[in-house]
A and B are shown apart, each in its own frame.
Chain A
Amino acid sequence: MTASYKEPLIQVRGLEKVFRIKGGMLEKKQNLRAVRGVSFDIMPQETFGLVGESGCGKSTTGRLILQLLRPTGGEVLMEGKNLASMKGRALKEQRAKMQMVFQDPYASFDPRQNIYSAVSEPMVIYGLAKTKRERREKVAQLLADVGLNPDAMEKCPHEFSGGQRQRIGIARALALHPQFMVLDEPVSALDVSIQAQVINLLLEMKSQYGLTYLFISHDLSVIKYICDRVAVMYLGEIIEMADKETLFAQPLHPYSQALLAAAPKIGEQRTGEVLTGEVPSPIRPPKGCAFHPRCPHARECCKQVPPVQKLPDGRLIACWLYA
């Protein structure tokens, strides 16, 4: 767990992303509000989880933090420095400290590139490990760290299984000794027996290299296993954020409750009410609390934006039930 005297490594302040998208054939361009004012801190060596259903803005948030996408509002600070105001060399150096691992172990590699070039590429770009010999040693070490045989270097991505490719993706992300990694559904495409291997690997790498993670997943059990703190997102907003123990012992936001209840649990029959309806379009998110049209507790006041409350147990929640 994180000690409270530390400064946050990452500070996210009112982050927003509006995509301009084409409407139907005759329609004008529309605004798709993918991320709508998201704020949180990530402490050094913490694993911070973002969970929510498809399209709620998890990946966009991750990309905004890494400056792979330009925010349309808000800011991201790393070690107190505003990333948007950095340029040139300073930005390049800062970027090396932040890496990403993607969901799809199939799409994240150039199929013609062998593993040596894939993993050593960032080192070349950043002029780390000058000679080819040094680079080969470094790649061999990284592959060994992620549990692969060094002879993997000469092979191409298609010769590896999904789990092995994910290991290679992790090795590549580690090549520049990052401090911070965004893991975007890193195990979602893997079989369960392989998923567990990769989860344990991520935990090992974290303690070995003192990493800080933003872990994105739609799978609550995986989030619960790996994260220290968790934010639940719905339609581009964080609706509840708490320590893992606090949230999973007792989710308070009706959406968090529905999400936890909907996830099938091994050895348990179905319980409780099933949430009706579907997530509305981020082009026209409902006014007020975005969840109110589906919420079993919705009242008149829910058509107004709920204030974000801090509860005595430290959790943040945006719901009129607790205001």
Chain B
Amino acid sequence: MNDALLNVKDLTITFQTERGELTAVDHLSFDLGRKETLCIVGESGSGKSVTALSIMGLLPQPAGRVTNGSIRFQGQELTGLTNKQMQGIRGNRISMIFQEPMTSLNPVYTVGYQISEVLKKHKGMNTKEAMRYAAELLERVGIPEPGKRVHSFPHELSGGLRQRVMIAMALSCDPDILIADEPTTALDVTIQAQILRLMETLKQDLDMSIIFITHDLGVVSQISDRTIVMYGGMKMEERYADGFFDHVQHPYTVDLLGCIPTSSLSDGKLMPIPGMIPSLANMPGGCRFSNRCRRAMSACHETIPELREIEPGHWIACHLEDKEAVL
């Protein structure tokens, strides 16, 4: 897709460790359209955060490296940019928020000061303008009494308010893309509902695209336009079409749904996936899921399945035939 805002192609990310070079993300490709919400969903260690960090040019150095593939933002190649070149894009055109806002907020400065610093740097405002605009941003993200709150220190705010501050800061330069890495995982459900609604509103108002990383399939149901399921650093399934959950095909996604109790009274027994999530050093050969898959055949242990389109806008990487793949 050429009109996509972001094209990730064959992205491979490795880490240099005592156990040698380990592959955290393996030939991952996806596109992000304008005003689209892309959900990347997967269990821990599936490579979601690392993917996000690589787009931001923030892979832990020197251990982490993009060893293959490209990340193109509006046609411009981002891999290989210097840190200085990346600074023009990071926080400006592409912003990111994290699960735990305290890791990115500085405890010794007021939130107003921290937002205004970003504004001064990227927008060339003076101190007074920046402070006024910071309060405006806090208001926009639904923080009560924004005029007072600009003078608050991060620890004086609840988790939900801190996440709103992070969103305000991420939005300060009207980014084209907001990457949100599990932004609501640490929050209570009622506060999560508020933050999800806020992000939806802001996306409409600001014409943004969102990459939303989560392990919560319920959240995916609520916000996703395009859904990618990752496991062991690889894309297992992707659907760009409505009704993802009515159409899941990959045995991993199907089995994952069988692990989740729902809030309906009529749901059946949980069917756990046997075994553990393999560590990077112990990835099985062939399909990453092959050693836990109830339907694995000999081919699954030997070759990595190609991603194939099983219906328009829906891809899976699985050796089973399309019709076979549904349990």
Contacts and interface: CB of A to CB of B under 8 A. Distances in A.
Interface in B226-282: 245-246, 255-265, 267, 270-274, 276-277
Contact of B196 (A192, A200, A270): A270
Contacts of A192: 43, 215, 217, 256, 259-260
A196 B273 contact: yes
B259 A275 contact: no
Given A267-B245, A270-B196, A278 B158 contact: yes
B191 interface: yes
Contacts of B194: 274-276
B43 A191 contact: yes
Contacts of A196: 258-260, 270-273
Contacts of B160: 278
A49 to B, nearest CB: 12
A303 interface: no
Nearest to B243: A267
A65 to B, nearest CB: 23
A274 B271 CA distance: 32
Contacts of B265: 224, 244-245, 248-249
A20 B190 CA distance: 28
Contacts of A278: 158, 160-161, 191
Contacts of B216: 264
A193 B255 contact: yes
Contacts of B102: none
A138 interface: no
A82 interface: no
Contact of B263 (A164, A195, A248): A248
Which one of A199, A200, A261, A278 has the greatest number of beta carbons of chain B within 10 Å?
Answer: A278
B44 A191 contact: yes
B134 to A, nearest CB: 21
A283 interface: no
B241 to A, nearest CB: 14
Interface in A252-301: 258-270, 274-276, 278-279
B263 A260 contact: yes
Contacts of A262: 189-190, 192-193
Given A196-B271, A264-B222, A266-B218, A221 B190 contact: no
A304 interface: no
Contacts of B196: 264, 270
A265 B277 contact: no
B189 A268 contact: no
Nearest to B187: A54
A224 B261 contact: yes
Contact of A265 (B191, B218, B246, B276): B218
A35 B253 CA distance: 41
Contact of A161 (B158, B260, B276): B276
Contacts, number: 125
B132 interface: no
A268 B267 CA distance: 15
A104 interface: no
Interface string A184-202: 0000000111111101100
Nearest to A203: B270
B260 A221 contact: yes
A128 interface: no
B261 A221 contact: yes
Q: Which of B190, B218, B245 has the most CB of A within 10 A?
A: B190
B188 interface: yes
B43 A264 contact: no
B221 A263 contact: no
Contact of B277 (A194, A222, A268): A194
A272 to B, nearest CB: 9
A70 to B, nearest CB: 28
Nearest to A279: B188
Interface string A208-231: 000000000010111011100000
Contacts of B125: none
Contacts of B259: 192-193, 195-196
B219 interface: yes
A60 to B, nearest CB: 17
A199 B270 contact: yes
Contacts of B151: none
Contacts of A274: 190, 193-194, 197
B88 to A, nearest CB: 36
A145 to B, nearest CB: 17
Contacts of B277: 161, 191, 193-194
Given A191-B43, A221-B260, A248-B265, A266 B190 contact: no
Nearest to A225: B261
Contacts of B218: 263-266
A191 B255 CA distance: 13
A41 interface: no
B263 A54 contact: no
Contacts of B222: 264, 268-270
A192 B261 CA distance: 10
B254 to A, nearest CB: 12
Interface in B137-195: 158-161, 188-194
A220 B270 contact: no
**Which of A222, A248, A266, A278 has the most chain B CB within a 10 Å cutoff?**
A266
Contacts of B271: 196
Given A196-B270, A248-B265, A275-B190, A266 B257 contact: yes
Given A222-B261, A224-B263, A224-B265, A269 B221 contact: yes
8 contacts: A191-B43, A192-B43, A193-B292, A194-B276, A196-B270, A248-B265, A265-B263, A266-B217
Interface of B: 43-44, 158-161, 188-194, 196-197, 215-222, 245-246, 255-265, 267, 270-274, 276-277, 292
